[in-house]
Amino acid sequence: MKYLDRQDLELAVVEEGMLAAAENGLISHEAMKKWLLSWGTDDELPPPEPDIARRN
């Protein structure tokens, strides 16, 4: 794959992620960490919901 092709692909993936975040919101680091640290415990948490509001 040529350098410019890889760059185009990388930019497309970043843009797709930014659009998804703008539409759905984001999950904070704190919420994700709390969820991950619960794995394998008796009180395992469900996956977190977005808690950072999307931009309008």
Query: What is residue 56's predicted lDDT score, i.e. its pLDDT?
Result: 58
Domain holding 9, by residue range, is 1-56
Amino acid (one-letter) located at 24: N
Give pTM, 2 decimals.
0.65
What is the reported pLDDT for 55? 64
Q: Which residue ranges of the chain lie beneath pLDDT 70?
A: 54-56
The number of folded domains in the chain is 1
The alpha carbon of residue 28 and the mean position of all alpha carbons in its chain are separated, in whole angstroms, by 9
pLDDT of amino acid 1 = 75
C-alpha–C-alpha distance, residues 7 and 41, integer Å: 42
**pLDDT score of 7:** 96
In angstroms, rounded to a whole number, what is the distance separating the alpha carbons of residues 39 and 48?
A: 13
Tens of pLDDT, residue by residue over 10-20, are 999 999 999 99
Contact 52, 28 (CB under 8 A): yes
